[in-house]
Structure 1
Amino acid sequence: MAALSKIPHNCYEIGHTWSPSCVQSAADVTRSALEVSFKIYAPLYLIAAVLRRRKKDYYFKRLIPEIFWSTSFLTTNGGLFIVFFCILRRLLGGFYSWSVGFGSALPASYIAILLERKSRRGLLTIYMANLATETLFRMAVTRGIVKPIKHGEVLLFCITSSLFMFFFRSKDGLKGFASSALKFIIGKEEIPTHSVLADDSQPSAERPDSRKKTLLSSTRKLLESICKRGPRHRCCKHYNDNCISYCVKGFVRMFSVGYVIQCLLKVPSAFRQMFSKPSRLPSLFYNKENFQLGVFLGSFVSIYKGTSCLLRWMRNIDDELHALIAGFLAGVSMFFYKSTTISMYLFSKLVETIYFKGIEAGRLPYIPHADTIIYAISTAICFHAAVMEVQNLRPTYWKFLLRLTQGRFALIFVLFEWLYSQRLNLTTPVGVATTMCFNTDLKAGRMREEFYTLIISECVFKGRGTYNNVALSISYP
């Protein structure tokens, strides 16, 4: 990260440029964070309660407290960042590269996560650790420390899915949501078996159906008979299908799930365009992204099932080690729907799973409050990137910060951004430069581009990323 010497300007000139008062600035951010947080969590908890079929007691006794609990967490995280930013400037007598982002966000994030319910801390920690890891990787790529691997997100997903499927097939491998999710995606036919040799067991005979035969039922029975006829290894548990139809059905099922999910995600935007641009409504159903997610999920399941069946035919045994190969090959399906976010999130969950397994086996130490510490450090890293090098931050998280502060974050740290981006081009002791940054029209609620002229004086270049005796002033257009 850039090593900046102390800059003796006050908070108003460098940080909260929309108000000269530290107290007023913190109050503004807190107020906007409170409003946005409530708009996020209120519908989120309500929808979750409906989907989980909560009883009436939950709505009357627990729903509102949980909403305000999470709202206070996010509000505190945003408001205390400005508070500690100003406190550190007063304590240190100026700004340093570590204090403007990481130093201010670390205590704010630690205090904020303590306000959140313990049941949600783990999910928040996984998300922020994933985001921080991605940010650090981008920082390393920017500095030339590491070189990105072509299709690296696909390779990471292959490795992650391989290990996840191995744990899924192993005895006491996965528990809770991870196990339930894989059972839904892969199907009950691949429920864990442990080195089971071939057997001739068959499902119990179905009771005869006395209902009247119709065209639909006749067609269905014809398809079922076709599916049953064909090659099926004795170790395979898909008794109603041969191995080929088993893979095809898996593809069709998960393709439909992925397609429907993408369509539902586009419904809110479609409602907004219903009256203004009705011609765009059909694109909701034949959008390219809808098919990409469907093909990704469908091919993942079909490749996994097909490889598992093939290995059972080759080895004449149903072994959990098959999942390593089948899971890795199934990961190739991410070529249809490349997503660094999905790969990093699943990898973070894999690390969490391995860590807890190590604790259960007595091989890894249990660290008290590890989730709280990891969340605070991860969030501090992301805030530091938002301050010093926003180009390395995930765009969706940057938009979230702008939304949370109602655009005020874009007004902060203009000079730090400029210094960092221009660190290698600074060759003269005194210079005048113009840089473009984003300003926010708070009343109109939109972003606009403005040019600021930065006057740099008493500046001595000390080496890569290092300056000495920097004095800055800013002139507004």
Structure 2
Amino acid sequence: MLGSALFFYLMRLDRDNVKRTPLFWFFTPPRVSKEEGKPVEGIHGRSEACPHKGPCMNYIAKGAAQLFSVGLLMTCVRTILPRILTPKKALKSLKFSHLKLGIFFGGYIGLYRLIVCLLCRSTGKDSALHALPAGFVAGAAFRASPSLPIALAPVTSSLQIIISWAYQRGMIPAQWPLVELLYCVCQGILFHARVMHEDVCPRYIVNLMHTVTTNKADEIQSAFIKKIVAFGN
């Protein structure tokens, strides 16, 4: 939740940056609205300070519905495609739990937009700081579909924005390959988790390591376990 709050805040600040940081994320918040107006009670209609067009409720519901549909579609494709040759079995394999990703996506965006709109309406102006409480509350939707890669994405993307700003402002010399070094460190941590802590390592990392190392990662882990067992005996 804290990572989500920081990430949304940095994204809103970065929207006004001439050289925006390219990010891979399923939602980009709008620019901070320069318009100001009188505080508005309730949630009906639209405040002049809100960073969107049309009524707030429509804006919130539309975003939540769109992202819910995306999450649901992703889950259905992942579930049905492996069983595409047996359509009946594929449809029967769908469960209520397959709504979780859609609930996360929809809830994440819906809660974020709701809090931002409420803050704009209550203060009469928009601010990048509104993203902090909005992002924090939106992070609660993560409980619907817990996932380590998704949880880490806001943190790594926040670091990406900060490093990009540091390069642009000359705080980091341009000749320093900091991004490449950070990538190497992250890969090292992932490989360490694959060998030493497979029980908590994301499954896709295990499969990826197996593929790119042509089974060497499995051999390293097996040899490591044998040495540990031999040492214990």
How high is the TM-score relative to the length of structure 2? Answer: 0.78
Q: Is the Cα–Cα contact under 8 Å of residues 21 and 161 in structure 2 kept in the other structure?
A: no
Deviation at 1:168, TM superposition (A): 3.0
* 1:296/1:333 contact within 8 Å kept: yes
**Distance in 1 between residues matched to 2:225 and 2:75, nearest whole Å:** 36
Q: 1:174 to 1:348 in 2, by over 3 A?
A: farther
1:169 pairs, out of 5, 9, 12, with: 12
Higher Cα Rg, which structure: 1
Distance 1:421 1:303, change over 3 A: farther
Instruction: Give the gaps of 5 or more residues in structure 1.
Output: 1-157, 200-228, 432-477
1:302 pairs, out of 92, 102, 110, with 110
1:225-236 paired onto structure 2 within 5 Å: 230-236=44-50
Specify the alignment match of 2:147 in structure 1: 339
Structure 2 stretches lacking a partner, 5+ long:
none
Q: Please, what TM-score do these two structures have when normalized by structure 1?
A: 0.42
Work out the CA distance in 2 between the residues paired with 1:413 and 1:257: 37
Q: Are the aligned partners of 2:21 and 2:164 in contact in 1 as well (CA < 8 Å)? A: no
Matched residues in 2 for 1:255 and 1:302: separation? 10
Give me the CA root mean square deviation: 3.2
Q: Give the distance between the partners of 2:124 and 2:132, measured in 1 at CA.
A: 17
- Whether contact under 8 Å (1:168, 1:192) holds in the other structure is no
Aligned-pair CA distance for 1:336: 0.8
Q: Percent identity?
A: 22
Matches within 5 A, 1:58-457: 158-170=1-13, 171-172=16-17, 175=20, 177-178=22-23, 181-183=26-28, 191-198=30-37, 230-241=44-55, 243-271=56-84, 274-275=85-86, 278-283=87-92, 286-366=94-174, 368-387=176-195, 390-391=198-199, 393-404=201-212, 407=215, 409-412=217-220, 414-420=222-228, 426=232
Q: Deviations over 1:191-221 (max 9, x none)?
A: 212553128xxxxxxxxxxxxxxxxxxxxxx
Equivalenced residue count is 227
8 A contact 1:196–1:319 mirrored in 2 = no
More strand by share: 1
**Does the 8 A contact of 1:198 with 1:318 survive in 2?**
no
CA-to-partner distance for each residue in 1:140-182, whole Å, 9 max, x for gaps? xxxxxxxxxxxxxxxxxx2232222223333328825439953
Distance 1:160 1:234, change over 3 A: same
| Alpha-carbon distance in structure 1 between the residues aligned to 2:191 and 2:26 | 32
SS in 1 for 2:128: coil
Distance 1:416 1:244 in 2: 57
Contact 1:296 1:334 in 2 (8 A): yes
Could you say what secondary structure the match of 2:71 adopts? helix
For residue 246 of structure 1, give the secondary structure of its aligned residue in structure 2: helix
Counterpart contact for 1:247–1:302, Cα < 8 Å: yes
Question: Would you say the 8 A contact 1:162–1:328 is kept in 2?
Answer: yes
Q: Which runs of 4+ in 1 moved over 6 A?
A: none
* Residues 405/283 of structure 1: CA separation in 2 closer, same or farther (3 Å cut): farther
